[in-house]
Amino acid sequence: MPKAGRLRSTPVTSALLLALSLVGTARADVVWPALYVVASHHHFWYVIVAGFALEVLILRSQLGIATRRAILISFVANTFSATVGMLGLSLAMLGWHFAMDRIVAGTFAPLNLAASLILMLGASILLESALTRAIWKLPIRRTLRAFSAGNILSYTVVAIDLYCFGGWSRSL
């Protein structure tokens, strides 16, 4: 049995690789706002790196752990969020649109655009914190601050791109 705080890598790695292979499949013939959020994340990969570094610093200071361990935790959580999370969140947002589009006058109505960003941000933070809890048994309240800071940084840049620089009208 693995000790608490050790990474159980085989199932996690397998799930991440499977999800990574499916990410492009979700975009086949239908377009909805969540796909624009995901595509914008890909344009600003360097902001994600900055968010990753911010998470590492906060994890290290909040949990009193070594830098190498904080890097590993942030890397695994962000890899999970970028693969399984983005695919799952994109598909979950499609469910949102089935329910809400008739109420708010369409898929690309302002409420749906904002909801895509806000719900995906919140879900990303919760996914990363829950994953670190499941693998390393770390307290969610203490990891939430780190993952919130990193995700808010990247989602803010994505929102600026989508709203200020025409990202919503970009061709995928």
When pLDDT is averaged across residues 75-96 and rounded to a whole number, the result is 89
pLDDT above 70 covers what percent of the chain? 84
Are the CB atoms for 107 and 33 separated by under 8 Å?
yes
DSSP character string of 82-94: IIIIHHHHHHHHH
- pLDDT tens digits, one per residue of 13-41: 666 556 555 555 444 457 889 989 988 88
Q: What's the distance, CA 31 to chain centroid?
A: 19
Give the model's pLDDT for residue 85: 83
Burial (CB count <10 Å: 0-12, 13-18, 19+), residue 66: exposed
Residue in the structure block whose two tokens are 């935790």: 73
Task: State how far the Cα of 132 lies from the Cα of 5, in Å rounded to an integer.
Answer: 9
State the Cα angle at 65 between 146 and 138, rounded to 5°.
Answer: 60
Give the model's pLDDT for residue 87: 86
Task: State how far the Cα of 81 lies from the Cα of 125, in Å rounded to an integer.
Answer: 9
- pLDDT tens digits, one per residue of 86-124: 888 888 898 899 999 989 988 999 999 999 999 999 999
Task: State how far the Cα of 115 lies from the Cα of 117, in Å rounded to an integer.
Answer: 5
Task: State how far the Cα of 117 lies from the Cα of 153, in Å rounded to an integer.
Answer: 13
Are the CB atoms for 78 and 52 separated by under 8 Å?
yes
Task: Read off the amino acid at residue 153.
Answer: L
DSSP character string of 69-82: HHHHHHHHHHHHII
- What beta strand segments (E) does 31-138 contain? none
Cβ atoms within 10 A of the Cβ of 45, count? 10
* pTM confidence score: 0.80
